[in-house]
Structure 1
Amino acid sequence: MNAAEKLRLLLARPGIIVMPGCHDALSAKLCEKAGFSTAFMSGFAVSADRLGLPDTGLITYAELLDQGRNICNAVSIPIWGDGDTGFGNALNIKRTVQGYAQAGFACIMLEDQIAPKRCGHTRGKSVVGRDEAAMRIQAAVDARNEGADILIMARTDARATHDLDEAILRANLFHEIGADINFLEAPESEQEMLRYCTEVPGYKVANLIESGKTPLLPHEQLEAMGYKIAVYPLTLLNASIVAMQNALHGLKTGQNTPKTLSFKELTEIVGFEDYYREEKRYRF
């Protein structure tokens, strides 16, 4: 099975899917080793990891595609990819969808922000008109239907720029167009989350960011509301920064020895044992 087929099977199973975010091949491998069935390549996390820059539309299509190809090649679980606004008009969006499918992604997320876009939980967002938002998702669905075997996740940020009514209207519109999954970004209360789940059909995503705008609810409660996917896009990036800061402080001050893996554990995680086994096969 390819990545999209694996993801369709996951979505068809009962229960909520808990999905960590990843930002490079190593973090994706750690997700798989930890037993997660799928992972999400976060544009915020890739921009921070690859460029050391904020998620404000500075990273390019080519950079995201290159990072995604490395991530997808490193694991066997299906990977969801952040496709930002699609990087242009309808033809650009179709090319973006096709490129993500060829890179090995199972699903691409596309949103209705004005380019350059920014993280959905930060200030200063704006969205395109409803017609252009619909055009983006229609182009993505057309690319899928014309042979790009990838699922389409349609995101709206209209809750922050307009109101919940407009966001729900857009989420329903995206579902009618044919998006496989819909995503209303940054509802600000349990009541808003429940209303979204009640009024919009199809698979729905809860985007859960530590100290973000959306309440961090237990998985069982999210599932009961009607969410199918609970994604934690920044948890690994956040935890890795804290760990690195602590290690650097310990090295600089000499007061604490940073807690690290043994060298054997480190080599196993990055794949030395697999490499040695393959190397032995071809030794004469």
Structure 2
Amino acid sequence: MTSSSPRKRLRALAEERRGLIVPGAFNALSARVIADAGFEAVYVTGAGVTNMWFGMPDQGFMGLAEIADHTARIRDAVDLPLIVDADTGFGNALNVRHTVRTLERAGADCIQFEDQTAPKRCGHFSGKEVVSTEEAVSKIKAAVDARRDGDLLIMARTDACATHGFEAALERAQKMADAGADILFVEAVTTADQIRALPQRLAKPQLMNMVIGGKTPVVDAEELARMGYAFVLYANAALQGALAGMTRVLGVLRDARRVDEDPALVAPFAERQRLVGKPEWDALEKRYT
């Protein structure tokens, strides 16, 4: 851990524009695994929280209370900068103001707002709609005005590419930047040419979302760094890996009627205790006994 705050570190990382990979966490333990693997920032994923907490699709079922609770728990678990997915801000510009105050208090270092109509849906689903440019911009202005700490970053995401086209999405993203957004996120672009064009035409640091199985072509993070992207998001790679692992071990349990401590199949018992910090808790217990 460095001496600077997570928010200052995240702001510096954004300005470096080196294609930093940011994995998504859906709970505190997944955030610990991300930190343990050596990543430098964590994305608190709304889709992941919805999928893993409710067992439901990413279609606007998550509320502010749920994402704030998860953010606070993840903040307690790791010291890495947290980029938090706040969906549409859970209402109008006034709701966005309340969302910023709530998530800033919970420990967010960057809060992401998107411009979909409610109920929102995953950026790589069909059937999306976006609010007017004026409403989208007003929400970003409200978010910027609401933050108490000037180091808190505001990320503006637009889903307009799917509904209005690439040029309209670029124009909207620029207006969000003019409204004070620190980082831009043009979601669900569909061609390599569009991916290359974004850093050339938008001056603010940008995030590119790599959705495994989604609409955007998967591009190596090194190449995205050369293009000038600040962040490369893998919001639900850990979730999809966890699902694959659970399916695999439960298949073995069903068919073989037992599961042994095979590191290729399950994390060893001792490794699980290490990741949840049992040695540190044991030391505290001795200290206070």
TM-score (norm 1): 0.95
Q: CA deviation at 1:89?
A: 1.6
Q: Distance in 1 between matches of 2:272 and 2:93?
A: 45
Q: Distance in 1 between matches of 2:110 and 2:175?
A: 19
User: Quick one: higher RCO (CA 8 Å, sep 6+), 1 or 2?
Assistant: 2
Q: Distance in 2 between matches of 1:171 and 1:158?
A: 9
Alignment of 1:90 with 2:96, yes or no, is no
Q: Distance in 2 between matches of 1:27 and 1:200?
A: 33
Which amino acid letter does the alignment assign opposite residue 46 of structure 1?
A: V
Residues 48-96 of structure 1: CA deviation (Å, up to 9, x unaligned): 1111111100111111111111111110001110000011121110110
Alignment of 1:138 with 2:141, yes or no, is yes
Alignment of 1:66 with 2:72, yes or no, is no
Aligned to 2:218: 216
Q: Structure 1 residues 165 and 14, CA, compared in 2 at 3 Å: closer, same or farther? A: closer
**Tell me, what secondary structure is at the counterpart of 1:183?**
strand
Are the aligned partners of 1:156 and 1:183 in contact in 2 as well (CA < 8 Å)? Answer: yes
Q: Distance in 2 between matches of 1:11 and 1:124?
A: 31
Which amino acid letter does the alignment assign opposite residue 251 of structure 1?
A: L
What aligned pairs does 1:6-155 form with structure 2 within 5 A after superposition? 6-13=9-16, 15-144=18-147, 146-147=148-149, 149-155=151-157
- Percent sequence identity is 39
Q: Distance in 1 between matches of 2:245 and 2:32?
A: 18
Aligned to 2:229: 227
Are the aligned partners of 2:17 and 2:205 in contact in 1 as well (CA < 8 Å)? Answer: no
Query: 4+ residue runs of structure 1 moved beyond 6 angstroms?
Result: none
Q: CA RMSD in A?
A: 1.5
Question: Among 267, 280, 283, which residue is 1:277 paired with?
Answer: 283
Runs of 5+ unmatched residues, structure 2: none
Are the aligned partners of 2:17 and 2:225 in contact in 1 as well (CA < 8 Å)? Answer: no
Residues 10-37 of structure 1: CA deviation (Å, up to 9, x unaligned): 2244622111011000000111111111
**Tell me, what secondary structure is at the counterpart of 2:32?**
helix
Q: Distance in 1 between matches of 2:82 and 2:159?
A: 22
Q: CA deviation at 1:3?
A: 2.8
Q: Distance in 2 between matches of 1:158 and 1:217?
A: 21
Q: Distance in 2 between matches of 1:222 and 1:10?
A: 15
TM-score (norm 2): 0.94
Q: Distance in 2 between matches of 1:194 and 1:10?
A: 20
Alignment of 1:266 with 2:272, yes or no, is yes
Are the aligned partners of 1:97 and 1:148 in contact in 2 as well (CA < 8 Å)? Answer: no
**Tell me, what secondary structure is at the counterpart of 1:203?**
coil
Which amino acid letter does the alignment assign opposite residue 127 of structure 1?
A: V
Runs of 5+ unmatched residues, structure 1: none
